[in-house]
């Protein structure tokens, strides 16, 4: 079945032959903004937007050029230069999968760039912000366009760096600095997995290019080594995509500016893990293998965990972050189901990129009007004061809960149905997750836009400027139509098929399947419960104590506590033991040795009496003993 | 006869060494050192005759020359020390110690 | 036979002299004992077919080196004698153990060897004769060593001069300074000679002044002290009293002199 993955064709010339421009534009932008620093303060943000847009234009042109090839020739490799002589050649792989990501990154990225002009207008470091955004776009494009794992890893680390810089953008806030560090450290665990996976790939297959691996690995092949590689790559994916057990950094990452949360921690970077799994799917996650099952289980667990966390958060951005975790869980679940799920996973990834960016930017717009207040208990009744923001946010909301005919409906339903078909248990868990999604997203809507005003006294909510609302409108438009366009008549699946393979039977989308109806019913139940608890009754503006379960969810399912007690405290104990050992053991040994030598020297120096006759006596006794020894051995 | 000469030589050497160790007057210590050197010279001369080779005598000759030079410098040092410390005792010059 | 007799006589004499050197309290006697040992050894060299060395031994050792020793002894103080109280704990015991042990080892080693009959130097000296053979070796095979010893001797002489040289810290006193100091002092005139109006001409007998009183400073203070220490006082109590006074007067200035000298050194 996976044998239908097309051969990679070498390509020169044309737009695809110059696809490196996609990476080069934002990279040059970041370079100029960082190097020329204050001289670019006045027009720096415009340059950043221009570079991002230029990259988008190249991506669109490459996309259309790719469409011009026959289906079996749509995997185009572009050789750039010899990277590590004799080992790795740097090259780009333009195929349906990577072009999808490139379009999403540059498209949504450009919209968020534009939005940021307005959002960051009053920040004196706006130019630096745009330089980091450009750096991120360049790194992310390198990640998805590279034709080998080394290039992918460089991009992977690049987005990690950009993420670190942007989470900690307001580094004067200790919480932001800590969050940035936390994200970096947790990601390092995942990167470690990816790196070790790459090492094993290299020693096993002697190549790190997708083309080389495709030639060596027969489809469906599994053994222990491949399973190990798969699990290590999954660890990397978990780190980058905030999946269990490496999820803890994402919620704290909301300390960054809202466009960052929208671009990096919702739409693009966190989906890198999904990309990694899908890209390696044919090699290390063949359908039905243990590694693929692990991916699906991780996805299902995370989608539930994220949803539960989302239910209890009063911080609007953290609520959205929990939702992001949950939605990426869906994608992972889809990616763990083999070619049948890939199309839905990627489809959900694209539509999620739109509606989640839409909602994050909407949340940013709300915060913009509410003096950067993030607590939803201090919102309420905002729909009259921010009509455009409300409308676009509401469309995003409908999309994410899977309201029929909107984007999320098609993609999420696709994942759920495929999951129920392949892994029934995980599938029904996903259905449950969808119900919880209905609850917490409705809660967010009701607390923010409906009900009574619970604002702070100095709040004067107002609609955001056009530079912020226009991207919102575009994104919400995408949230409406994209899902149906991609999923109906299997457009995305057929487009992706040359890159990721095609399932044995093409799925048909049923509007009235059992899981679909069950999902809709559960979502409706969730929304009604939310209305009863947060829409109909007054929402207390101070957080109530809540039940055990609520506390459990508020504390991120005790993920941090678990990390602390499992890793941090033992680590601290280990450090203390090491310090103790160092102080008492090693220092004691060294100091004791020194003291011993010092003490014995103090006594030995008494031998230096200053009397020449004593010295002469010792010399003479020595000579006599030497003579005796020579006699004994018979040399005299 | 060789054995006799050698034993005499060893006896003189041991007496000289013993003198070096027990006498405190630097000049007498020096004399004892000279006695040890002379004992060695006797051994050289004896061995020279024993093996029928003149080189032993040549070495004894050089020993004498070196001893002369040594005495010149050593006595000058003793005089200098005596001048500053009013003492020729080797035990009195004991400041270079722990 | 003749050699044997010579050897035994000289061996006994030299060992006795060596022991005497070590155990004599007076350095001068030690030096004379050492001279005896060296002379004995010179004769033994001569007996052992080494007449050149015997001559050198007498000229260099007993002639030059022993004279140097005696000269330095005079400088340092001929009359000083060592105390035989050992101040270093265990030094004498261990020195004896080491010396006796060493001797025992040497005797053991030599006694274990069976020597061939002596080869003698007749062949080595050959036709050219003894002195000629020595010279041949010295100026051909050992010429470099010989030249180096010349450098060594020059260095030693220079070193001795440098070491014995005393840097002047004050102006050299001129005759004018000396006479001024004399006239400013207690006694401008010379000290009275010992013989004036003396009843005998011994040098340690104080002189009498014309009025019959005793001239106290007419006897050298060293001699006065010697007489007091060795109980050689004259029978005349007046003279004995004067000698004692001179000897006592000698004690005090010595201290002061020492102080003055040590001050000079520290300066």
The per-residue pLDDT for range A126-159, each reduced to its tens digit, is: 888 899 999 999 999 999 998 888 889 999 999 9
DSSP assignments along A337-386, one per residue:
TTHHHHHHHHHHHHHHHHHHHHHHHHHHHHHHHTTT--BGGG---GGGT-
Chain B partners within 8 Å of C56 (Cβ): 61, 64
> How would you classify the pairing of strands A76-84 and A88-94?
antiparallel
* Residues A265, B3: Cα–Cα separation, whole Å: 104
Average pLDDT, integer, range A429-453: 86
Contact A620 B17 (CB under 8 A): yes
Q: Mind telling me how many Å the CA of A618 is from chain B's nearest CA?
A: 10
What's the helix, strand, coil split of chain A in %, to 5? 75, 5, 20
* Residues A376, A541: Cα–Cα separation, whole Å: 8
Q: Mind telling me how many Å the CA of B96 is from chain C's nearest CA?
A: 17
What is the rounded average pLDDT for all residues in chain A? 85
* Residues A130, A125: Cα–Cα separation, whole Å: 9
What does the radius of gyration of chain C's CA atoms come to, in whole angstroms?
28
- C45 — pLDDT class (breaks 50, 70, 90): very high
Average pLDDT, integer, range C100-127: 83
A18-27, A230-239, A378-387, C61-70: segment of lowest average pLDDT: A378-387
DSSP state of A148: B
Average pLDDT, integer, range A396-404: 86
DSSP state of C127: T
Chain C partners within 8 Å of A628 (Cβ): 101, 105
Contact A613 B21 (CB under 8 A): yes
Residue B41 has pLDDT above 90, yes or no: yes
Contact A631 C94 (CB under 8 A): no
Q: What is the pLDDT of residue C267?
A: 40
Report yes or no: A173 and A254 within 8 Å, Cβ to Cβ.
Answer: no
Q: What is the pLDDT of residue C199?
A: 63
Q: Mind telling me how many Å the CA of C22 is from chain A's nearest CA?
A: 15
Neighbors of chain A with 3 or more C-beta pairs under 8 Å: B, C
More confident residue, A490 or B77: B77
Chain B partners within 8 Å of C103 (Cβ): 10-11, 14
β-pair partners for A94: A76
Residue A485 has pLDDT above 90, yes or no: no
Residue of B nearest to A604 (CA): B98
Tens digit of each residue's pLDDT (9 = 90 or more) over C133-155: 888 888 999 999 999 999 999 99
> How would you classify the pairing of strands A76-84 and C207-208?
unpaired
The answer, for B17 touching chain A at a CB cutoff of 8 Å, is yes
Q: Which residues lie closer than 8 Å to C229 by C-beta, 6 or more apart?
A: none
Q: What is the pLDDT of residue C21?
A: 92
Closest CA to C133 of A570, A600, B54, A542: B54
- A636 — pLDDT class (breaks 50, 70, 90): low
What is the rounded average pLDDT for all residues in chain B? 89
Contact C105 A624 (CB under 8 A): yes
Nearest CB neighbour to A624, from listed C91, C102, C109: C102
Task: Provide the percentage of residues in chain C whose pLDDT is more than 90.
Answer: 28
The answer, for A611 touching chain C at a CB cutoff of 8 Å, is yes
Residue of A nearest to B95 (CA): A610
* Residues A126, A48: Cα–Cα separation, whole Å: 11
Chain A partners within 8 Å of C95 (Cβ): 617, 620
φ/ψ region of A13 (left if φ > 0, alpha if ψ in -120 to 50, else beta) reads left
- A412 — pLDDT class (breaks 50, 70, 90): confident
φ/ψ region of A257 (left if φ > 0, alpha if ψ in -120 to 50, else beta) reads beta
Residue of A nearest to C87 (CA): A611
Best of B3, B5, B20, B25 to mutate (most C CBs within 10 Å, chain C): B25
Tens digit of each residue's pLDDT (9 = 90 or more) over C74-92: 888 766 667 777 778 888 8
Q: Mind telling me how many Å the CA of C189 is from chain B's nearest CA?
A: 31
Residue C185 has pLDDT above 90, yes or no: no
Question: Residue A47 to residues A22, A284, A470, C251: CA-CA distances in angstroms?
Answer: 15, 41, 19, 108
Tokens of A521: 């019913």
* Residues A356, C259: Cα–Cα separation, whole Å: 104
Q: What is the pLDDT of residue A287?
A: 75
Tokens of A108: 């949504």
Q: What is the pLDDT of residue C200?
A: 65
Q: What is the pLDDT of residue C198?
A: 59
Q: Mind telling me how many Å the CA of A610 is from chain B's nearest CA?
A: 4
Bond from prior residue into A245 cis (ω within 30 degrees of 0): yes
Average pLDDT, integer, range A191-218: 86
Half-sphere exposure for A54 (CA within 13 Å, toward CB): 20
Query: How many cross-chain Cβ pairs, B to C, lie less than 8 Å apart?
Result: 234
Nearest CB neighbour to C72, from listed B1, B3, B79: B79
Helix (H) or strand (E) holding A77: strand A76-84
3-state secondary structure of A92: strand
Task: Provide the percentage of residues in chain A whose pLDDT is more than 70.
Answer: 99
Residue of A nearest to B33 (CA): A616
Which stretches of B8-71 are assigned E, i.e. beta strand?
Answer: none
Q: Please list the alpha-helical segments (H only) found in A559-586.
A: 559-563, 569-580
* Residues A135, A169: Cα–Cα separation, whole Å: 14
Contact B97 A609 (CB under 8 A): yes
DSSP state of C59: I
Contact A611 B90 (CB under 8 A): yes
Average pLDDT, integer, range C220-229: 80
3-state secondary structure of B83: helix
Neighbors of chain B with 3 or more C-beta pairs under 8 Å: A, C
The answer, for A630 touching chain B at a CB cutoff of 8 Å, is no
Residue A387 has pLDDT above 90, yes or no: no
Helix (H) or strand (E) holding A10: strand A9-10
Residue B7 has pLDDT above 90, yes or no: yes
Nearest CB neighbour to C27, from listed B27, B46, B65: B27
β-pair partners for A76: A9, A94
Residue B23 has pLDDT above 70, yes or no: yes
Contact B90 A609 (CB under 8 A): no
Q: Which residues 32-91 on chain B approach chain A with CB closer than 8 angstroms? A: 90-91
Chain C partners within 8 Å of A621 (Cβ): 94, 98
Q: Which residues lie closer than 8 Å to C29 by C-beta, 6 or more apart?
A: C20, C21
Average pLDDT, integer, range A261-285: 83
Residue of C nearest to A615 (CA): C91
What pTM did the predictor assign?
Answer: 0.62
The answer, for A620 touching chain C at a CB cutoff of 8 Å, is yes
- C252 — pLDDT class (breaks 50, 70, 90): low
* Residues A376, A69: Cα–Cα separation, whole Å: 50
> Does the interface predicted TM-score (ipTM) exceed 0.85?
yes
Question: Residue A441 to residues A309, A348, A349, A369: CA-CA distances in angstroms?
Answer: 12, 17, 18, 21
Phi, psi of C21 (to 5 degrees): -60, -45
Average pLDDT, integer, range A482-501: 81
Chain C partners within 8 Å of A609 (Cβ): 88
Q: What is the pLDDT of residue C169?
A: 81
Q: Please list the alpha-helical segments (H only) found in A488-556.
A: 491-500, 514-530, 548-554
Q: What is the pLDDT of residue C197?
A: 60
Closest CA to C37 of A262, B9, A344: B9
* Residues A555, A553: Cα–Cα separation, whole Å: 5
A58-67, A249-258, A554-563, C67-76: segment of lowest average pLDDT: A554-563
Report yes or no: A323 and A307 within 8 Å, Cβ to Cβ.
Answer: yes
Q: What is the pLDDT of residue A487?
A: 81
Residue C120 has pLDDT above 70, yes or no: yes
CB environment A64-97: b (16+ within 10 A), e (fewer): ebbeeeeeeebbbbbeeeeeeeeebbbbbbbbbb
Tokens of A389: 């923001």
Q: What is the pLDDT of residue C79?
A: 61
Report yes or no: A358 and A394 within 8 Å, Cβ to Cβ.
Answer: no
Q: What is the pLDDT of residue C36?
A: 93
Burial class (CB in 10 A: 0-12, 13-18, 19+), C97: middle
Chain B partners within 8 Å of A605 (Cβ): 98
| Numbers of helices and strands, H then E, in chain B | 3, 0
Phi, psi of C193 (to 5 degrees): -70, 155
More confident residue, C60 or A1: C60
Chain A partners within 8 Å of C108 (Cβ): 631
Q: What is the pLDDT of residue B35?
A: 94
Q: What is the pLDDT of residue C264?
A: 46
Nearest CB neighbour to A617, from listed C94, C106, C109: C94
Residue of B nearest to A618 (CA): B21
Residue C266 has pLDDT above 50, yes or no: no
The answer, for A606 touching chain B at a CB cutoff of 8 Å, is yes
> Mean pLDDT highest for which of A80-84, A107-111, C13-17?
C13-17
Best of A606, A610, A619 to mutate (most B CBs within 10 Å, chain B): A610
Residue C217 has pLDDT above 80, yes or no: no
């Amino acid at each position: 079945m996976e044998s239908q993955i097309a051969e990679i064709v070498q390509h020169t010339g044309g737009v695809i032959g110059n696809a490196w421009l996609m990476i080069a534009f934002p990279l040059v932008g970041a370079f100029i903004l960082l190097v020329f620093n204050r001289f670019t303060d006045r027009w720096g943000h415009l340059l950043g937007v221009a570079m991002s847009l230029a990259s988008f234009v190249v991506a669109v042109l490459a996309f259309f050029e790719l469409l011009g090839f026959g289906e079996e020739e749509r995997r185009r490799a572009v050789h750039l230069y010899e990277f590590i002589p004799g080992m790795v050649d740097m090259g780009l792989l333009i195929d349906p999968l990577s072009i999808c990501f490139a379009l999403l990154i540059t498209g949504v990225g450009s919209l968020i760039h534009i939005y940021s002009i307005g959002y960051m207008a009053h920040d004196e470091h706006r130019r630096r912000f745009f330089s980091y955004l450009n750096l991120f776009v360049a790194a992310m494009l390198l990640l998805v366009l590279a034709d080998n794992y080394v290039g992918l890893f460089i991009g992977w680390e690049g987005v990690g760096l950009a993420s670190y810089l942007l989470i900690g953008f307001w580094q004067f806030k200790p919480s932001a600095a800590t969050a940035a560090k936390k994200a970096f450290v947790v990601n390092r665990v995942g990167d470690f997995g990816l790196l070790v996976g790459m090492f094993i790939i290299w020693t096993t297959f002697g190549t790190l290019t997708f083309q080389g691996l495709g030639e060596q690995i027969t489809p469906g092949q599994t053994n222990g080594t491949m399973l190990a590689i798969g699990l290590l790559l999954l660890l990397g994916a978990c780190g980058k995509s905030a999946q269990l057990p490496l999820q803890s950094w994402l919620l704290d990452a909301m300390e960054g500016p809202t466009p960052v949360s929208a671009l990096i921690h919702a739409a693009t970077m966190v989906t890198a893990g999904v990309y990694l799994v899908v890209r390696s799917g044919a090699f290390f996650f063949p359908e039905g293998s243990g590694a693929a099952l692990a991916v699906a289980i991780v996805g299902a667990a995370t989608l539930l965990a994220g949803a539960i966390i989302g239910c209890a958060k009063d911080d609007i951005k953290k609520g959205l972050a929990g939702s992001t975790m949950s939605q990426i869980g869906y994608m992972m679940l889809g990616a763990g189901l083999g070619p049948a799920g890939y199309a839905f996973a990627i489809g959900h990834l694209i539509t999620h990129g739109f509606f989640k960016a839409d909602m994050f930017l909407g949340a940013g717009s709300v915060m913009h009007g509410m003096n950067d207040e993030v607590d939803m208990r201090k919102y309420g009744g905002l729909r009259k004061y921010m009509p455009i923001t409300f409308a676009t946010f509401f469309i995003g909301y409908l999309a994410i809960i899977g309201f029929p005919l909107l984007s999320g409906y098609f993609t999420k339903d696709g994942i759920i149905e495929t999951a129920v078909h392949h892994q029934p248990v995980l599938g029904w868990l996903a259905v449950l997750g969808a119900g919880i999604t209905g609850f917490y997203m409705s809660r967010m809507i009701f607390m923010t836009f409906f009900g009574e005003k619970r604002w702070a006294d100095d709040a004067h909510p107002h609609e955001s400027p056009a530079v912020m609302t226009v991207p919102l409108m575009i994104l919400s438009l995408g949230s409406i139509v994209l899902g149906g366009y991609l999923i109906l008549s299997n457009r995305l699946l057929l487009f992706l098929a040359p890159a990721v393979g095609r399932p044995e039977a093409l799925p048909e989308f049923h509007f009235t399947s059992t899981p679909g109806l069950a999902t809709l019913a559960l979502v409706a139940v969730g929304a009604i419960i939310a209305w009863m608890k947060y829409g109909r009754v007054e929402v207390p503006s101070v957080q109530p104590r809540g039940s055990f379960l609520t506390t459990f969810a508020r504390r991120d399912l005790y993920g941090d506590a678990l990390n602390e007690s499992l890793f941090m405290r033992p680590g601290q104990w280990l450090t203390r033991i090491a310090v103790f050992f160092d102080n008492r053991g090693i220092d004691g040994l060294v100091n004791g040795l020194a003291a011993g030598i010092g003490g014995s020297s103090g006594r030995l120096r008494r031998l230096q009496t200053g009397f020449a006759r004593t010295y002469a006596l010792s010399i003479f006794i020595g000579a006599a003993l030497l003579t005796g020894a020579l006699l004994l051995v018979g040399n005299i | 006869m060789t054995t006799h000469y050698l034993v005499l030589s060893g006896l003189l050497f041991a007496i000289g060494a013993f003198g070096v160790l027990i006498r405190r007057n630097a000049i007498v210590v020096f004399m004892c050192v000279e006695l040890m050197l002379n004992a060695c010279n006797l051994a050289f001369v004896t061995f020279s005759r024993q093996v029928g080779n003149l080189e032993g005598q040549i070495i004894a000759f050089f020993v004498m020359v070196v001893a002369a030079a040594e005495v010149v410098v050593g006595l000058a040092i003793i005089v200098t020390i005596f001048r500053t410390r009013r003492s020729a005792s080797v035990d009195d010059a004991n400041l270079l110690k722990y | 036979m003749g050699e044997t007799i010579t050897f035994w006589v000289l061996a006994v004499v030299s060992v006795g002299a060596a022991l005497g050197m070590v155990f004599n309290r007076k350095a001068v006697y030690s030096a004379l004992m050492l001279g005896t040992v060296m002379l004995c050894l010179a004769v033994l060299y001569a007996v052992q077919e080494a007449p050149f060395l015997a001559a050198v031994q007498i000229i260099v050792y007993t002639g030059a080196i022993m004279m140097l020793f005696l000269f330095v002894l005079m400088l340092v103080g001929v009359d000083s004698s060592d105390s035989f109280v050992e101040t270093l704990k265990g030094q004498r015991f261990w020195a004896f153990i080491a010396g006796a042990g060493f001797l025992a080892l040497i005797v053991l080693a030599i006694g274990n060897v069976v020597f061939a009959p002596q080869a003698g130097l007749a062949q080595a000296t050959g036709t050219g004769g003894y002195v000629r053979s020595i010279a041949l070796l010295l100026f051909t095979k050992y010429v470099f060593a010989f030249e180096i010893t010349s450098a060594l001797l020059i260095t030693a002489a220079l070193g001795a001069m440098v070491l014995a040289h005393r840097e002047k810290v004050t102006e050299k006193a001129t005759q004018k300074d000396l006479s001024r100091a004399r006239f400013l002092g207690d006694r401008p005139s010379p000290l009275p000679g010992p013989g004036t109006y003396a009843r005998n001409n011994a040098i340690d007998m104080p002189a009498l002044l014309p009025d019959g009183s005793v001239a106290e400073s007419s006897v050298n203070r060293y001699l006065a002290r010697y007489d007091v220490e060795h109980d050689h006082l004259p029978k005349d109590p007046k003279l004995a009293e004067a000698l004692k006074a001179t000897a006592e007067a000698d004690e005090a200035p010595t201290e002061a002199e020492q102080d003055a000298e040590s001050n000079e050194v520290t300066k």
